[in-house]
Structure 1
Amino acid sequence: MKKSIALLSISTALVLSACGNADEENNNTAEADNVNNSAEENAVENEENENNNEAAEEDPENNEEDNEEVEESENNMNADEEEAADEMAEDGWETEVGETVENEGGTFTLHARQDDIDTIETGPVVIDIEQVNAASGELAPDLAEMMETEELDYVQMDLTVENTGEEDISFYASQATIATSTGEQLESDMWLSDYIDGDMMAGTSHSGSFFFVLENSNAEDVESVRITWSAPSNEDFEDVGEDVDIEIEF
């Protein structure tokens, strides 16, 4: 959960900052020792390099075997990296449907996802919905206290919205309304969701994640969602497009 994790990360950032300050003090203390020891260390290193070169000249066969082992190890590492890249490239998502992940926010299970969604155009507004998913989670204590619940079922929508026109308009991407197949009509949760300004200047784009908390149903039972937005309008409060009304099935 993008927004909630960002809130919880503040304390982590402070801890890292404190460690960084401590490291800086230790580095200042150690710097003098490093200067004093550098000459001696360089002398020892030069002597070791000379010995290694002499050994390699005396035994070229062992040197060739070592090179072959290094090359084989590098090839194996490259193969592993390519395999991991291929796995990520299958659908571009780290978490697959049905998987459970644990992070600072708690333990979350992804029940459904749809990421093959047509681009939406209404007037000068273009909406790209990257994904809509349904998930549930057992919240970590800090987040549970903030949300006043230990468990959460929700629908998440990630999107990018752009004003492709030459005039400033109003379009409230963050004020979408959804209806789930389980019979709930919901607005996005203001605490968990990103904020996108409804007054969009010409040629600008914004991205965000929005969370719709289910109140009377479970995320694993949601099979589809209907999403609606009001039409964009110009500075004279005249519609410059159509209302948006789409259905997304998982």
Structure 2
Amino acid sequence: MKKLCTTLSLSTLLVVAACGGEEAGVDEDNRNEQNMNNNTEYNLDDDTDDGNDNEEDGTNNNGLEDTDPDLNDNETNEEAAGDENDEDLGEDLADDTWETEVGDTIENEGGVFTLHNRQDDIDTIETGPIIMDIQQVAAVSGELTGEMADFLETDELDYIQVDIQVENTADEDITFYAGQARMSTSTGEQLESDMWLSDHIDGEMMAGTSQSGSFFFVLENSNAEDVESVRLVWSAPHDDDWEDAGEEVDIEVEF
């Protein structure tokens, strides 16, 4: 997303440059005359090329001092990066997980991460009209760098990643909070997914819709490599009348 924001910023600059170039072709004679007058008034060097006066003396066509374009670019990119920072964190954690074998290490903008355990052979869950596919549960540790380390105020992170796809097969809207599972681990921790790192799945699912996302449960008192199993619990789905439309989901996942 940062790359996209940077691309958009650069595209904006190119559009401005193109418009400026077109204007130069129309008013070239007027500007040349103005530049000659400016050279006389401000005693500019006679050997300065007329076409480059505005760039070298740092003024625009009105004789006003231009703001450093590099500074403007940096401010624009920093603001865009700040707006997208939270979403980028989860993407950095989730990148390349499926292409990594247990025991391997991957590196991305967020840092260096080791996949300790993964379970991706989990039965599809059905509760009322809700069908939920837990695509994987992974135990990961990371050595954080850059913006992620600064944002989380730590250079080490152990977590359980849960990737979910959920579908409402009913002909009516159903409420099911797939992104609000509770987890307990074999190491004795009870956790909820980290809202800053995890994706968002809307709990009010319209009829016939599906959503997916990655959720990160940050371990506070244990290491990812020591987790042998996790328990995941979801509240039952309900309809518009707040009547249960299925059963509570309570599953155990062993690595």
What is the TM-score of this pair, normalised by structure 1? 0.67
Alignment counterpart, residue 102 of structure 2, candidates 72, 92, 97? 97
Match of 1:146 in 2: 151
Which structure 1 residue ranges, 4+ long, deviate > 2 Å from structure 2?
12-26
Alignment counterpart, residue 116 of structure 1, candidates 115, 121, 130? 121
Cα offset for 1:117?
A: 0.5
Q: Match of 1:224, as an amino acid?
A: S
Separation of aligned partners in 2, 1:220 and 1:212? 14
1:68-83 counterparts in 2 under 5 A? none
In structure 2, relative to structure 1, the CA distance for the partners of 1:23 and 1:99 (3 Å cut) is farther
What secondary structure does 1:173 align onto? Answer: coil
Match of 1:88 in 2: none
1:167 equivalent to 2:194? Answer: no
Q: Match of 1:98, as an amino acid?
A: G
Match of 1:190 in 2: 195
Cα offset for 1:195?
A: 0.6
Match of 1:219 in 2: 224
1:16-35 counterparts in 2 under 5 A? 16-17=7-8
Alignment counterpart, residue 13 of structure 1, candidates 4, 13, 32? 4
Separation of aligned partners in 2, 1:14 and 1:168? 35
Separation of aligned partners in 1, 2:239 and 2:12? 51
Cα offset for 1:246?
A: 0.3
1:201-250 alpha-carbon deviations (Å, 9 max, x no partner)? 11110000000000000000001000000000011111011100000000
Separation of aligned partners in 2, 1:198 and 1:21? 37
In structure 2, relative to structure 1, the CA distance for the partners of 1:224 and 1:19 (3 Å cut) is same
Kindly indicate whether the alpha-carbon contact (under 8 Å) linking 2:109 and 2:146 is maintained by their aligned counterparts in 1.
no
In structure 2, relative to structure 1, the CA distance for the partners of 1:23 and 1:95 (3 Å cut) is farther
1:10-48 alpha-carbon deviations (Å, 9 max, x no partner)? 1x334444566788979xx9xxxxxxxxxxxxxxxxxxx
1:141-177 alpha-carbon deviations (Å, 9 max, x no partner)? 2111111111100000001000111111110001000
Match of 1:32 in 2: none
What is the TM-score of this pair, normalised by structure 2? 0.65
Q: Match of 2:138, as an amino acid?
A: N
In structure 2, relative to structure 1, the CA distance for the partners of 1:175 and 1:20 (3 Å cut) is same
Match of 2:37 in 1: none
What secondary structure does 1:246 align onto? Answer: strand
Alignment counterpart, residue 127 of structure 1, candidates 120, 125, 132? 132
1:63-107 alpha-carbon deviations (Å, 9 max, x no partner)? xxxxxxxxxxxxxxxxxxxxxxxxxxxxx9311110111101111
CA RMSD of aligned residues (A): 2.0
1:199 equivalent to 2:204? Answer: yes
Match of 1:233 in 2: 238
Q: Percent identity?
A: 66
Alignment counterpart, residue 136 of structure 1, candidates 132, 135, 141? 141
1:208 equivalent to 2:213? Answer: yes
What secondary structure does 1:175 align onto? Answer: coil
List runs of 5+ in structure 1 lacking aligned partners: 1-8, 30-91
Q: Match of 2:114, as an amino acid?
A: T
